[in-house]
């Protein structure tokens, strides 16, 4: 049994989707980042960087409970445990891993900053708005070029696609002011992933708790900028 400590943000959605895709048995434990529950001592023992998502595999290596934080590491762990969506062939595995690292190092941080400076900085910072919007557009272009050559980021559907997809969901694109029609290969890829039942289930987990409304409210800030959300 996997215990998932979670809130429905782009980073959280990575793991909920992977759990649905993998078929592993799990139960979810909400960690309400709007109420600061990520700072509770019980959670910090699992995720010392006070970020969701985190997991505890009750049947981890050696049969002992195994806690794990950082969404990229969790995706790799669940893929290896389930034998799904991360190839065993070395060259294919590294192809998946490079695009997973692309998300961890580029898409998440840059898209998060784009959202923050577009909608939530205490006052407009034109340089930062332009810097992160331009970088977000550039990264869309990188993905569009790649997806013009392959069906999925690493060739076959994998944890790399699962990592990137939630950061390009419609509500995120709305904040980033991205017109996906300008990136036809990305649009084709998004439509294909959105149609997967496991993805739909993973994206729906706890979604009612978000109650996303006006762009100025803190619920949306937590959703779009969960990597920066630090309110105590």
The residue-averaged pLDDT of 131-150 equals: 98
Token output for 72:
């990229």
Residue 155: the pLDDT is 97
Q: CA-CA distance, 140 to 137, in Å (whole number)? A: 5
Q: How confident is the model at residue 218 (pLDDT cuts 50, 70, 90)?
A: low
Q: CA-CA distance, 12 to 166, in Å (whole number)? A: 9
Where do the domains of the chain lie, and which CATH numbers do they carry?
2-85 (3.40.30.10), 90-200 (1.20.1050.10)
Q: How many CA atoms lie within 13 A of 221 on its CB side?
A: 16
Q: Average the pLDDT over each of 150-154, 218-222, 226-230 and give the range with the smallest value.
A: 226-230
pLDDT tens for 81-107 read 999 999 999 999 999 999 999 999 999
Q: How confident is the model at residue 229 (pLDDT cuts 50, 70, 90)?
A: very low
Residue 230: the pLDDT is 41
Q: CA-CA distance, 5 to 40, in Å (whole number)? A: 12
pLDDT tens for 13-53 read 999 999 999 999 999 999 999 999 999 999 999 999 999 99
Q: What is the 3-state secondary structure (H, E, C) of the chain?
A: CEEEEECCCHHHHHHHHHHHHHCCCEEEEECCCCCCHHHCHHHHCCCCCCCCCEEEECCCHHHCCEEEECHHHHHHHHHHHHCCCCCCCHHHHHHHHHHHHHHHHHHHHHHHHHHHHHHCCCCCCHHHHHHHHHHHHHHHHHHHHHHCCCCECEEECCHHHHHHHHHHCHHHHHHHCCCHHHCHHHHHHHHHHHCCHHHHHHHHCCHHHCCCCCCCCHHHHHHHCCCCCCCC
Q: From the CB of residue 60, how many other CB atoms can be counted at a distance below 10 Å?
A: 16
**Is the separation of the CB atoms in 98 and 163 below 8 Å?**
no
For residue 28, the cross-strand partners are 4
Q: What percent of the chain has pLDDT over 70?
A: 89
Q: How confident is the model at residue 169 (pLDDT cuts 50, 70, 90)?
A: very high
The residue-averaged pLDDT of 186-205 equals: 98
**Beta strand 26-30 with 2-6: parallel, antiparallel or unpaired?**
parallel
pTM of the model: 0.91
Q: Average the pLDDT over each of 60-64, 88-92, 220-224 and give the range with the smallest value.
A: 220-224
Per the prediction, the chain carries an average pLDDT of 91
Residue 209: the pLDDT is 64
Residue 120: the pLDDT is 86
Q: CA-CA distance, 58 to 152, in Å (whole number)? A: 32
């Amino acid at each position: 049994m996997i215990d998932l400590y979670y809130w429905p943000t782009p980073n959280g959605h990575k793991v909920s989707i992977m759990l649905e895709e993998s078929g592993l048995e799990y139960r979810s434990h909400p960690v309400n980042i709007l109420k600061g529950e990520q700072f509770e001592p019980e959670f910090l023992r699992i995720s010392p960087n006070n970020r969701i998502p985190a997991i505890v595999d009750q049947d981890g290596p050696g049969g002992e409970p195994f806690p794990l934080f950082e969404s990229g590491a969790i995706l790799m762990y669940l893929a290896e445990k389930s034998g799904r969506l991360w190839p065993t062939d070395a060259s294919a595995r590294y192809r998946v891993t490079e695009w997973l690292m692309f998300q961890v190092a580029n898409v998440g941080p840059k898209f998060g900053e784009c959202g923050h400076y577009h909608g939530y900085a205490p006052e407009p910072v034109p340089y930062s708005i332009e810097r992160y919007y331009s970088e977000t557009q550039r990264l869309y272009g990188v993905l569009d070029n790649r997806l013009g050559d392959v069906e999925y980021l690493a060739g076959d559907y994998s944890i790399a696609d699962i990592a990137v997809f939630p950061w390009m969901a419609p509500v995120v694109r709305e904040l980033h002011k991205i017109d996906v029609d300008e990136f036809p290969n990305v649009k084709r890829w998004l439509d294909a992933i959105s149609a997967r039942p496991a993805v739909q289930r993973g994206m729906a987990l706890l979604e009612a708790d978000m109650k996303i409304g006006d762009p100025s409210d803190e619920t949306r800030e937590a959703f779009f900028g969960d990597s920066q959300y630090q309110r105590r």
